[in-house]
Structure formats: C-alpha cells, structure tokens
Amino acid sequence: MNIHGDCIEEMAKMVPNSVDAIVTDPPYGLSFMGKEWDHGLPGIPFWAEAIRVAKPGCHLLAFGGTRTFHRLVTPPNGLILDPFMGSGTTGMAAKAEGFRFIGIDNNSEYCDIAKKRIGGLTRGV
C-alpha cells in the first residue's frame, strides 16, 4: 500500500498499536543537494504518532549517516552519550552538529585518541 500524504496526518488515521516495525530514511534537515524534502526534521508530532501506531516491542530503524542520525534523535543543544566511545567518531559528529557530548570507553588508548579527535570534550573511564 502506498499513501500520498503528510505522514503525521496519515499515521493519525491508523489504528493504535498496529505496526510491527518502522523502517525509514527520514529527512535530516541538511538541505541535501538543495532538495525541498530535506529542509526539515521529524519533530515531536512525528515521533508521537510513530509511538502511537507501534505495537509493544515494535522496532524502529531510522537510517542516517554519522553526521545525520544525531539530528533525528537529539533536541537542539542536546546531550549525547556514547558509552562505547572508541576513537570518538560519534563525539566528532556531535560536536560538528552543535550537540553536547559525553563519551565513555574502558580503553585508555582509545580515550586519548578520542580526546585528540574531539578536542578534549570527552571524559574517559
């Protein structure tokens, strides 16, 4: 079934707890190639409807790249936690997008690498 319409309005017509999985590649708000569809971000109304139609235990898979997935799940100036920081790639993306960041890793060598890559914004264990 294909539906042409605003996803929030269309999901509002759906039965609650009716979807087994949500798999999507939403807009990232990057104005990708100047395309109109990539100027906004899915906001709270979208996520509220997605949760409403999701069955208990439903899985959500939202595609995004290193610099884009943060925008999907973090409010402006939000705090991102990466409990398995490694070399700090998530922290670099978070910093580049203006988010606050806490990174944790149990390997001191990786913590040193991440600190250099991110500019000292991380705290290692």
| pLDDT tens-digit series, residues 61-74 | 877 766 677 777 77
Structure tokens, 59: 């899985």
Confidence of residue 123 (pLDDT cuts 50, 70, 90): very low
Question: Which residues make Cβ contacts (< 8 Å) with residue 119, sequence separation at least 6?
Answer: 95
Residue 11 has pLDDT above 80, yes or no: yes
CB count within 10 Å of CB 26 equals 18
- What is the distance between the alpha carbons of residues 50 and 53, in angstroms, rounded to a whole number? 5
- What is the distance between the alpha carbons of residues 71 and 99, in angstroms, rounded to a whole number? 9
| Average confidence score pLDDT of the chain | 82
Full-model pTM: 0.60
Give me the mean pLDDT over the 89-99 stretch. 85
Question: Which residues make Cβ contacts (< 8 Å) with residue 102, sequence separation at least 6?
Answer: 79, 80, 81, 82, 122, 123
Task: Please state which of the ranges 5-14, 31-40, 92-101, 115-124 shows the lowest mean pLDDT.
Answer: 115-124
Of 1-5, 51-55, 56-60, the range with the highest mean pLDDT is 51-55
C-beta separation of 105 from 124 below 8 A:
yes
Give the pairing of strands 19-24 and 100-103: unpaired
